[in-house]
Amino acid sequence: MAILTLIRHGQSTYNFENRFTGNTDVELTLFGKEEAEKAGVKLKNYKYDIAYTSMLKRAQETLQIILQVIQQTKIPIVADKALNERRYGNLQGQNKDEVTNKYGAQQVEIWRRSYDIRPPDGESLADTYDRVVPYYKKEIEPKLKSGRNVLIVAHGNSLRALVMYLEGIDQKEIVSFEIPTGSPRQYVFEGDLKIKSVNYL
């Protein structure tokens, strides 16, 4: 049996300012750091063998705070761009309300939530899936199959893509699926990586 825990980073400065963040490398807010600490408290009873994160500092800092809280700072940490947030292209840094006023709520919703439609010069969720899932299969699944417990701290869309794969969610259902910041989503696997249970802690 193995455990996989997925956590979306705490609130970032762009989250707070209601801006499209994408792969812009922004900091956590004070509230985001508090979210990371609270996530750590929820994980105090679990032991991890390895942790994965993206190349972006909001995810890396969230992970570091969590590991300090659970007193597991010595475990291996792997950072890879495959787990980065999806790129929002020309929308990055722009205020979401202003973009909505310019393009209309329906168009913005399509850019944000649809599976395979890209924002201007950006990535779709399908593009994100195509880098996250192969990386997971190659690098992380073997660890779980060997019985190791894995912690992944990443981003809303990179984790949505991974959840699609893990739970067999289809392209229509994933549109309404949201991962809150700082809330551990935990999978318990049987030996063949069949999901025994999944829930938010």
Active-site residue set: 9, 85
Those residues whose C-beta lies under 8 Å from the C-beta of residue 16, and which sit 6 or more positions away, are 29, 31
Answer for the pair 72, 48: CB distance below 8 angstroms, yes or no.
Answer: yes
Per the listing, tokens 């984790």 go with 159
Nearest residue to 52 (alpha-carbon basis) of 186, 153, 158, 141: 153
- Residues 61 and 36: their CA atoms lie apart, in Å, by 9
At what angle are helices 57-69 and 30-42 packed, to 10 degrees? 40
Positive or negative, the CA dihedral 114, 63, 56, 129 is: negative
How far apart CA 116 and CA 120 sit, in angstroms, is 13
Cβ atoms of residues 28 and 51 within 8 Å: no
CA angle 5/11/15 to nearest 5° reads: 125
